Structures are given as structure tokens and as C-alpha cells.
Structure 1
Amino acid sequence: MTGAAEAVEMVIRGGRGIRPTSLNDAETEKVLCMALALLVELTTAQERIDRLEREVASLRGISLAAWKEADVPEEIRHEQAEQAEALQLRVLRPLIDPRHSQGA
């Protein structure tokens, strides 16, 4: 695992006690938690991506379409993979959080 992903996992695994639930079915609550986490992540990412793409294209004096079609260097792809791993852990937290198992 990578630095950001390890930090997220440490926070999740560091939880103590039984995690309270608000729905009658713990499995449904886990899926809802995952969906809400994913929605927050996607909304935030989309806003940031759109703003940055427009700014970069403007600063480079190229169209937004040309910017989106540009090749991504290998080092950046590696960093993106690390960020994706941390995102996956945040979204899948209900499945790996030991407090969910104790409360189910």
C-alpha cells in the first residue's frame, strides 16, 4: 500500500467500540455509507478537475479538448494509481472497518 492509503487504513482500523447504525439492516447501511462516500468523492473531484482543466488549458493557450487528449507521463500515472487506492479504501471503509462487524 501507499502512504495515503496506509493513513486511511490506519484511521479505519483504529476505530474502537461498536459503530452505531441507523437502519435495521447493517448490510444496507454499509452499502449506503459506501454510496454516500463515493458521491462526496466524485462531486469534489469533478469540481476540482473541471476547474483545473479549464485553467491549465487557458494558461497554455490551447482548447480544453486538446488538453484532455494530452498524454500523461508515467510518474503522474503512478501517483494517480496511489490516489485511486486511497479513494477505494475510503469508499470501501464499511467493508473493512472492524466496528461494522461488531455492530452487525
Structure 2
Amino acid sequence: MKRLLGSALIIVGVLAGCGNNSGSEYLGKWVNVKSEKRSLEIERNGDSFMVRNTGPSFIDGKPETKNIPATYANGVLKVSMGMGDITLAIDKASGNLTDGSVEYKKTN
């Protein structure tokens, strides 16, 4: 009986530890592979994510940051861009974050 109870406690502990790790591979700072002036910082925001997109302003070229909400589903991040969602995925071959046209390399 003690062995069964011990096994049950271990299983519950493992499952509880895995509960909120969905999408943790996306967390951190990502830098554009073609321009270090452009970066993404992805953080948890409650049950969802916040993508902090930093790059030169179209108006004066000075760095600006836009905070964009995102959700994690089916192994990818869905970023809400107003006119539709952008899907961010990690390319298993390179380890880079991509939306299909732009790539970012993780820095931390």
C-alpha cells in the first residue's frame, strides 16, 4: 500500500510540474538573423503570452517597442496583429523562431 501511495504521489508531482510549461520554449529574447536592430522578447502574461517587438520606427528610425498579445496552441504561438493572426513556430532544424518569412535566433 505504501508503495502504491508513493508511486501515486510521484505521478501527481510530475504532472503538476508539467502543467504550465506549455510554450516555455518560446520564452526569452530572439534577435532577427538579418538585422540585430529587430528583436522579439516573449514573456508569459497570465495564461497567455506577450510579445515585445522592437525595431526601428518607420518614421524616424529610432527604436520602438510594440507589445502584442499571443496565445499558445498546437505547439505554435498565435500573435494577434489586428488584421489577422501570425503564427510563430520554432524550426526544429535550425532552432530559429520563424513566421515563414522572417527568422529570429534565441539569445538567452
Q: What TM-score comes out, normalization by structure 1 length?
A: 0.30
Q: Which has the higher helix share?
A: 1
Structure with higher RCO (Cα < 8 A, 6+ apart): 1
Bigger share in strand: 2
Give the TM-score normalised by the residue count of structure 2. 0.30
